[in-house]
Amino acid sequence: MSAAVVNPVGWAVRFYEAPIGKKAVMAITGFMLVGYVLAHMLGNLQIYSSNPNQINIYAAFLHNPANAGLLWGARTVLLLAVILHITAAVQLFFQNRAARPIAYVKKDDVPASYAARTMVWSGPIVAAFVIYHVLHLTVGAVMPLAPELGLNQPNVRANVIAGFQNYGVSAFYIFAMILLCMHLYHGIWSMCQSLGVSHPRYTRWLKKASAVLAILIAIGNCSIPIAVMTGLLTIN
């Protein structure tokens, strides 16, 4: 019987210590986080529904006590994914820098190289934004939240629109979404490579698909504060 079978924990530790192990962790957790970003955006876009109360109905469903176990389970998994993703990214960054202290002189793919370089600071800024976003629209620590429509029924529509009527909040949100777009562009493409979804025949199309998906997510998210600031979305 092999040592890997006898001691799977030791094998996992050795695998993670190698760059490929950290890339695998980043790919798997990145896949989970991209899925969440998409789901979160689609949920938020319900604010455009012909039924003004649709996004509040959606929020009430999420906050229903009957779904508390699923909601907190999902939050726990996402939090662990974020922690693992950031930890692996930081460790991989320093590991790569130690292995190659002199940077490459020529970068063939300028957009991809720029996105890769901005990952170092776009990631922490996006993470800070997520914390701010939760404090703003979930906890109510940034500005007072609108009264609930009923038990476990937050008035999400009113909170979102009131928040984005503040131009400073909207500007920070849009800036964070632009950084998220760059982060996703490089991250989705790197995730495909780490998971083995890479071949010279369709590499170009994978890069384009990564860029299109990242841009669509940014457009969808940025459209909400823009719609509020231009008066297309109002509380009444």
Domains and CATH numbers, the chain: 8-102+109-229 (1.20.1300)
Task: Identify the pLDDT of residue 43.
Answer: 92
Can you tell me whether residue 87 is helix, strand or coil?
A: helix
Task: Identify the pLDDT of residue 4.
Answer: 47
Q: Tell me the β-bridge partners of 150.
A: 153
Task: Identify the pLDDT of residue 112.
Answer: 45
119 Cβ neighbours under 8 A, 6+ residues apart: 89, 182, 183, 186, 187
b/e 57-95 (16+ beta carbons within 10 angstroms → b): ebbbeebeeeeeeeeeeeeeeeeebbebbeebbebbeee
Can you tell me whether residue 146 is helix, strand or coil?
A: coil
Task: Identify the pLDDT of residue 80.
Answer: 92
Task: Identify the pLDDT of residue 171.
Answer: 93
- Residue ranges in the chain modelled with pLDDT below 70: 1-6, 99-123, 152, 198-199
